[in-house]
Amino acid sequence: MGRQINYYMSDPCQQDFYTYLIDNGYVLSDLQGRELEKDTSAGLFLITRPSYKSIFMLDGSIDRLESSVIECSRTKVLIDKKRIARGRIWFCNNKNTIPSDELTSINKDVDRICRWIKNNVPRHVFWEDSFQRSELISKELWPLTDDYILL
């Protein structure tokens, strides 16, 4: 079973988010487990803590389904296509491979991270094709929603 939160963050907001993560003891890494800097431009990376020991490799990459990692993808603004691809935080809380104490700790971390996102990325409610839609969208990206398609 997994948990996720979707969002549309502007670049400055994403940098603030990465700073928050690093300042609070999280480690950002690529899919091979190499640590990333807080000014990363990686489209997809992993969030973990040094205390998490349940990290499993599969074909040279971290197995995101079995390991104690939180997957993070960046919001991408595709100017030439007039589209905004959402970012997301996702965690697969696999009870078969992650010890219960570590699973409890990482679930609390996911809650903290989601709380930061909800406190820093405003929720906007709007109509799209006669359906009401609610999304977390940075104030800098909100004006683009009139002309851009949200993916």
**pLDDT given at position 149:** 72
**pLDDT given at position 81:** 87
Q: What is the pTM of this model?
A: 0.82
Q: What is the mean pLDDT of residues 108-112?
A: 90
State which amino acid sits at residue 125.
Answer: V
**pLDDT given at position 120:** 94
pLDDT tens profile 117-130: 999 998 888 777 78
Mean pLDDT (the chain, rounded) = 83
Q: What share of the chain is helix, strand, coil (3-state, %, to 5)?
A: 30, 35, 40
Cα torsion at 108, 114, 120, 121 (round to 10°)?
A: 180
**pLDDT given at position 37:** 77
pLDDT tens profile 133-144: 788 888 888 887
pLDDT confidence of 2, banded at 50, 70, 90? low
**Strand positions, DSSP E, 1-151:** 2-7, 27-29, 44-48, 57-58, 61-62, 70-73, 76-78, 83-85, 87-92, 123-128, 131-136, 149-150
**pLDDT given at position 115:** 93
- The C-alpha atoms of residue 37 and residue 17 are separated, in whole angstroms, by 13
